[in-house]
Structure formats: structure tokens, C-alpha cells
């Protein structure tokens, strides 16, 4: 049984999502709120595995909640629920390890499938949304050549980043800790003179 927190500032949509989950045997709604601050508090409940969070809320939006979850090390996977989302927002969300992107217009049909994918440790990232992510600038050849300076462990981490793994997923895969993976990533970024996962992917996959 996977615990889920739902948050959206439209009460009717929130109620509809709760009703959808109530009939599913593998999910339980731990909490639902129209407030981003309340949602963040609910995500700290040890019974919660997944948060389905509206990107745009008046008090605390989904991006701020995702940042707070990452910074505090809460072991919860975040799915963004959105009517509209910009390319830069998608790019940042991907960099922060968002587990899913779900359009509100498709939520009734796709929510359960999305949740099951995320619960299984995979990501739900519709190609049409990922395509909106800001295209990184061309990478200088000398920077791409710097990949050769990475250690074997750093290359393993870089390749898993390119496969969409979050720091915690990489840590589980390599038998390490999320903190150690974060340090490795900082070293990788410094060596390659880049700032985020998107730029790293453009180098490793180039």
C-alpha cells in the first residue's frame, strides 16, 4: 500500500482525485489540501510515499515544495499536477528529480497509471512536456572532452543521471548514500564547468 498526499487549490478537482484513489487497493490518501504549506507538512508524514502537487498554488507552489523536499531529504517522490508549465520550470523540475509530470486535463485517465509507474521506481515524463524544457546552449568541444577526466564512479553516476535517476535512486543502485552522490555530482559539475543535470546529459550523451 502506497501513501499519497494530494494538493491542488481547486477543491472540486482535489475531491475528484481523492475519489479516484479511494477505489484503488494499492493506494491510500494520507492527506489532501488546497494549501501548499499544509501539503508540505503532510509530506513529512512517514506514511507518505508520493506527493501529487499542483505547480501553481497561491501560498506555496509545487516548485517550492519540490525544492523543500529535496533540501530536507524527505523520502517522498513528487508528481507535478499542472494546467500549464513553462520550459524553464520543467528543466528545473527535472534537475531536482521530479518523478512525474501530469497535465490536469489528462489526470482522471492517467493518474493511476502515473502513480503506479512512480510507485515502481520509474518516472512518468510525457515526451511532449519534456520537449518544452529549455534547450541548453551548445557545449564547447573542450568542455565535452573534459568527460575524460571523470573517474569511473563519476561516469557511472553521470550515466544514471542521464537515465533519469534521482540522487536517492542512484544511491540505492550503487550502494551509497544520497549525500555522497550529491558530493560526487558537485565534483562532476566542477570538473565539467556546468551547473545542472540537463547540461550533464548534453555532455554525456553527445
The CATH fold of domain 141-204: Arc Repressor Mutant, subunit A (1.10.10)
pLDDT tens figures, 8-38: 888 888 898 899 888 889 899 999 999 999 9
Query: What CATH number labels 2-130?
Result: 3.40.50.2300
Residue 187 has a pLDDT of 87
Residue 83 has a pLDDT of 81
User: Which residue ranges of the chain lie beneath pLDDT 70?
Assistant: 134-146, 202, 204-206
Burial of 143 (0-12, 13-18, 19+ CB in 10 A): middle
Residue 138 has a pLDDT of 52
Q: What is the pTM of this model?
A: 0.64
The helix or strand, by DSSP H or E, that contains position 89, with its residue range, turns out to be: helix 87-95
Delimit the domains of the chain by residue range: 2-130, 141-204
Q: Do 2-130 and 141-204 share a fold?
A: no
Amino acid at each position: 500500500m502506497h501513501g499519497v498526499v494530494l494538493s491542488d487549490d481547486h477543491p472540486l478537482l482535489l475531491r475528484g482525485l481523492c475519489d479516484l484513489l479511494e477505489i484503488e487497493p494499492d493506494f491510500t490518501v494520507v492527506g489532501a489540501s488546497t494549501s501548499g504549506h499544509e501539503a508540505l507538512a503532510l509530506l513529512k508524514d512517514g506514511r507518505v510515499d508520493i506527493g501529487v502537487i499542483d505547480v501553481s498554488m497561491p501560498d506555496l507552489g509545487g516548485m517550492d515544495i519540490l525544492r523543500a523536499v529535496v533540501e530536507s531529504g524527505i523520502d517522498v517522490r513528487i508528481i507535478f499536477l499542472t494546467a500549464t508549465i513553462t520550459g524553464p520550470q520543467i528543466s528545473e523540475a527535472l534537475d531536482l528529480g521530479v518523478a512525474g509530470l501530469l497535465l490536469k486535463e489528462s489526470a482522471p485517465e492517467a493518474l493511476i497509471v502515473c502513480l503506479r509507474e512512480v510507485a515502481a521506481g520509474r518516472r512518468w515524463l510525457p515526451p511532449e512536456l519534456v520537449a518544452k524544457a529549455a534547450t541548453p546552449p551548445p557545449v564547447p568541444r573542450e568542455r565535452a572532452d573534459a568527460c575524460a577526466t571523470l573517474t569511473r564512479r563519476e561516469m557511472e553516476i553521470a550515466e544514471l543521471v542521464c537515465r533519469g535517476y534521482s540522487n536517492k535512486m542512484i544511491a540505492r543502485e550503487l550502494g551509497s548514500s544520497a549525500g555522497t552522490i550529491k558530493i560526487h555530482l558537485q565534483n562532476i559539475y566542477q570538473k565539467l564547468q556546468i551547473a545542472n543535470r540537463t547540461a550533464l546529459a548534453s555532455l554525456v550523451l553527445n
